Amino acid sequence: MKSKLKTSLFFLVLWLGLPFGCVRRDVGGAPVLPQSSALNEASSRIEPAKRAENQLRLGGRTYVASMLKYVFGPSADRTVEILIEDHVMAMGGESCQPYRNDCEGNDGLAGWSPFGDSVLPSIPRATTLRAALISRACHGIVAKDEAILFATANVLGGALSTMRQPTEADILAAFNEFSPGRSLNDESAKQLLNVTQRAGEMGMLEAWRFLFLTLCLEPGWQIP
């Protein structure tokens, strides 16, 4: 009788113990094993907004450089090289290729280090430094008329002779130069149209220049 009582008490304690940490139920009700304190530390030390931002997978230096060269053509090459490709650590992506000598700046050499990829962010996260480099590159490139004419020709199907004040369709086409296949919501389209109209007051080329500046500065395209 006494042993039965002990056994019953054992299971009762086991049952009562369930809610006290042995098994924790998440909101959805599925039981999950308690995480180790280390894992909890890992996920909880950073603010929620930061966590979401950290999960973004941004393009590295080659992706960013390729995009800018593709949109703006050869006149962008030097600016892209100096401000994007040579900043291996700030921009992230693959390391320098010593056999191609593709990083002229000091930072490039740092990217190709004895530590190899251990120091190199292959999938980079946004930082103010990286944003500054891209912003400088965008401003430096769109200040050149050749770059704007090249980009505009792409949008207009190569026919600069038909250059016109950007239409809504042109704006979407320009947006898709940076973000192929993506749609543009009404509000953003309206705001971009406003940019082209205001800049157009300074000349047709300026309308395109500030359209491309805005699209270049808009960081969404950095998410491949």
Near other proteins in 74-93, by CB under 8 A: 87-92
Binding residue for other proteins, selected from 74, 146, 165, 223, defined by CB under 8 A? 223
Residue 168 corresponds to which amino acid? Answer: E
Residue 147 corresponds to which amino acid? Answer: A
Tell which positions 178-197 bind other proteins, by CB under 8 A: 184-185, 187-188, 190-192, 194-195
- The CA radius of gyration of the chain, in Å to the nearest whole number, is 27
Q: To 5 degrees, how large is the angle CA 183–CA 203–CA 190?
A: 25
Give me the least distance between CB of 186 and other proteins, in Å please.
10
Tell which positions 22-81 bind other proteins, by CB under 8 A: 24-25, 27, 36, 38, 40-42, 44-50, 52-56, 58
Tell which positions 117-146 bind other proteins, by CB under 8 A: 118-136, 139-140, 143
* CB closer to other proteins, 161 vs 183: 183
Give me the least distance between CB of 124 and other proteins, in Å please.
4
Q: What's the rounded Cα separation, in Å, for the pair 91 and 124?
A: 7
Query: Tokens 């039981």 sit at which residue?
Result: 31
Q: Binding of other proteins at residue 167 (CB under 8 A)? A: no
Size of the site for other proteins (CB under 8 A): 91
Q: What's the rounded Cα separation, in Å, for the pair 88 and 111?
A: 6
Q: To 5 degrees, how large is the angle CA 118–CA 113–CA 57?
A: 40
Give me the least distance between CB of 58 and other proteins, in Å please.
7
Question: By C-alpha distance, which of 202, 198, 212, 199 is closest to 138?
Answer: 212
* CB closer to other proteins, 167 vs 191: 191
